[in-house]
Amino acid sequence: MKVEIISCLQDNYSYLITDETNNVACIVDPSEAEPVIDFVKKKNINLKYILNTHHHYDHIGGNIELKKKYNAIIVGYKNDAHRIPEIDILVEDNQVWKADNFEVKIFHIPGHTSGHICFYFFNENFLFSGDTLFSLGCGRIFEGTYQEMFESLNKIKKLPENTNIYCGHEYTLQNSKFCIKHDPNNESLKNKIFEIEKKIKDNKPTVPSILKDEINCNIFLKAKDLESFSKLRDLKDNF
């Protein structure tokens, strides 16, 4: 299985996961159809599945067109069936969704929205975290509570350290400024910032990030309790 990164809109990432044995692919969070269609055409891939982490327009914008064009099957959280366009397969927390050679564990991780899920390709160590965990940051709390977001992040923290985190947006550089402000003596963070700046300068994505690095560097994953997490989240909203 390989993951390819497709830039969409301003700073969104959609991810194409292709099974190289049969060229069957899933797309995670197609913000818009066009860049995905271009990519699929070029590579001659059979796009069979659309996986949505949550209902925000910048994650589902390409659903209808891609479904029409490829007859793709749309997978999303059961309680969000009313707001994920053209949804076909309703999944729930802790379910393993299997199709073709894909085996994906679903985690319900509310906070950013009430129906946010992530897709964990446990055989490959890929996690598609949407707008819940970003590299060096976490999503804004729109529909959930601080406690829900805190618990959702803790769920992700328990995955294997070598998990590759593919998040919904390229926010890493901006996030790093907040982290270093509140954690100025963190040597691993300083090293990570060095790497990030290099990638941005070369016009390369900063994803995937490795979970171990996030645990060491992401101030929201380092928060010891709900109170300090909530304080940080408020500060970040006005950063």
Which of 229, 204, 202, 234 shows the shortest CA–CA distance to 218? 229
**Beta-bridge partner residues of 127:** 120, 165
Catalytic residue among 55, 59, 108, 116: 59
CA dist 31 and 6 (Å) reads 10
> Among residues 55, 56, 108, 233, which is the contact residue for Zn ion, using CB under 5 A?
56
- With CB under 5 A as the rule, give the number of residues binding Zn ion: 2
Least separation in angstroms between residue 194's CB and Zn ion is 29
- Whether the CB-CB separation of 109 and 152 falls below 8 Å is answered with yes
- Whether the CB-CB separation of 32 and 9 falls below 8 Å is answered with yes
Least separation in angstroms between residue 117's CB and Zn ion is 12
Is the omega angle on the peptide bond into residue 30 within 30 degrees of 0, that is, cis?
A: no
Which of 223, 113, 215 shows the shortest CA–CA distance to 165? 215
Q: Confirm or reject binding of residue 58 to Fe ion (CB under 5 A).
A: yes
Contact track, Fe ion, 137-176, x by CB under 5 A: -------------------------------x--------
For binding to Zn ion (CB under 5 A), which residues are involved? 56, 131
Q: Which positions are annotated as active-site residues?
A: 54, 56, 58-59, 112, 131, 169
For binding to Fe ion (CB under 5 A), which residues are involved? 58, 131, 168
